[in-house]
């Protein structure tokens, strides 16, 4: 198993162990995070996922994952093509990222605000609705420089030889530090059942060729 953007390796280890993979590999651009992941048992490599060739042979992995990484790079050409290269034919991938067309983003854009998951500066959050700063304690930039609609990512995966097996929508993640109120929680729970409207989605796909 390979986790692209493994960070500190906690999720990678949990998922790999649950699925009973004998070897779990991780790639991350941050050397200190990769070091912690290595201590958790991952075989780690420090690389820039957005630009670098992955240090693995073609068709090496049965399974590859990417959680919350694609929105931190300029475009997804390299990570998806490299994921396709290193995964075996009929192997599977799981990708989760923020949704540009979420119900939250559609609403804030209608009102003229900047979506939280599309930052314009490293110096602060600009144009974001005050409600976000009320609900969340962490209001510092997180280097989120891109966001992808579900439709766009599915089309791009198809273009790269993957077949979509399943998709899920997830709710307000990370959970707000303060209670958003019954109305917002009800609306989010209902709309998140449709992945194309969810704040974040998860895609399971299989490499077909």
HEC secondary structure over 71-123: HHCCCCHHHHHHHHHHEEEEEEEEEEEEECCCHHHHHHHHCCCCCCCCCCCCC
Q: Is residue 156 part of a domain?
A: yes
Q: What integer pLDDT is reported at residue 138 of this predicted model?
A: 81
Q: What integer pLDDT is reported at residue 14 of this predicted model?
A: 95
Q: What integer pLDDT is reported at residue 104 of this predicted model?
A: 95
pLDDT tens profile 74-98: 999 999 999 999 999 999 999 999 9
> Are residues 199 and 160 in contact, defined by beta-carbon separation less than 8 angstroms?
no
The CATH code of the domain that includes 62 is 3.40.50.150
> Are residues 195 and 171 in contact, defined by beta-carbon separation less than 8 angstroms?
no
pLDDT tens profile 107-137: 999 999 999 999 999 999 999 999 998 899 8
- Tell me the C-alpha distance between 51 and 79, whole Å: 8
Segment 34-41 shows an average pLDDT of 96
- Tell me the C-alpha distance between 90 and 183, whole Å: 43
Q: Would the pTM of this model clear 0.85, i.e. be above it?
A: yes
Q: Which two tokens stand for residue 48?
A: 């820039």
Q: Is residue 68 part of a domain?
A: yes
- Expressed as residue numbers, the domain containing 101 is 48-207
Q: What integer pLDDT is reported at residue 59 of this predicted model?
A: 97
pLDDT at 2 over 90: yes
pLDDT at 174 over 80: no
Segment 176-197 shows an average pLDDT of 93
Pairing of strands 87-98, 200-207: antiparallel
> Are residues 115 and 131 in contact, defined by beta-carbon separation less than 8 angstroms?
no
Q: Is residue 27 part of a domain?
A: no
- Residue 176 is given by DSSP the state P
List, in order, residues 6 or more apart from 57 with CB less than 8 Å away.
Answer: 86
Neighbour-count burial for 27-37, b at 16+ CB within 10 Å, e otherwise: bbbeeebbebb
Segment 176-203 shows an average pLDDT of 94
Give the whole-number percent of the chain exceeding pLDDT 70.
Answer: 100
Q: Is residue 18 part of a domain?
A: no
Q: Is residue 7 part of a domain?
A: no
Q: Is residue 154 part of a domain?
A: yes
List, in order, residues 6 or more apart from 150 with CB less than 8 Å away.
Answer: 99, 101, 167, 195, 196, 201, 203
Q: Is residue 15 part of a domain?
A: no
Q: What integer pLDDT is reported at residue 133 of this predicted model?
A: 86
Q: What integer pLDDT is reported at residue 173 of this predicted model?
A: 77
Burial of residue 69 (number of CB atoms within 10 Å: 0-12, 13-18, 19+): buried
Q: What integer pLDDT is reported at residue 155 of this predicted model?
A: 98
Please report which confidence band the pLDDT of residue 209 belongs to, taking 50, 70 and 90 as the band edges: confident
Please report which confidence band the pLDDT of residue 190 belongs to, taking 50, 70 and 90 as the band edges: very high
CA angle 199, 175, 194 (to 5 degrees): 30
Q: Is residue 103 part of a domain?
A: yes
3-class state of residue 149 by DSSP: coil
Count of domains forming the chain: 1
Q: Rounded to the nearest 5°, which phi and psi values hold at 46?
A: -95, 110
């Amino acid at each position: 198993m390979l986790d692209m953007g493994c960070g500190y390796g906690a999720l990678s280890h949990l998922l790999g162990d649950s699925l009973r993979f004998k070897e779990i590999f991780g790639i991350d651009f941050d050397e200190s995070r990769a070091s912690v992941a290595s201590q958790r048992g991952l075989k780690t490599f420090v690389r820039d996922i957005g630009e670098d060739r992955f240090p693995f042979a073609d068709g090496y992995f049965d399974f590859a994952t990417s959680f919350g990484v694609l929105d931190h790079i300029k475009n997804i050409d390299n990570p998806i093509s490299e994921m396709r290269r290193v995964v075996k034919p009929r192997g599977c991938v799981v990708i989760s990222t923020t949704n540009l067309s979420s119900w939250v983003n559609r609403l804030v854009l209608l009102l003229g605000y900047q979506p939280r998951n599309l930052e314009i500066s490293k110096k602060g959050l600009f144009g974001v609705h005050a409600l976000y700063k009320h609900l969340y304690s962490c209001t510092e930039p997180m280097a989120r420089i891109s966001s992808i609609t579900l439709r766009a990512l599915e089309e791009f995966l198809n273009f790269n030889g993957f077949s979509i097996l399943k998709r899920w929508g997830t709710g307000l993640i990370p959970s707000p530090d303060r209670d958003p109120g019954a109305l917002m929680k009800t609306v989010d729970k209902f709309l998140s059942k449709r992945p194309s409207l969810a704040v974040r989605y998860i895609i399971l796909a299989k490499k077909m060729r």
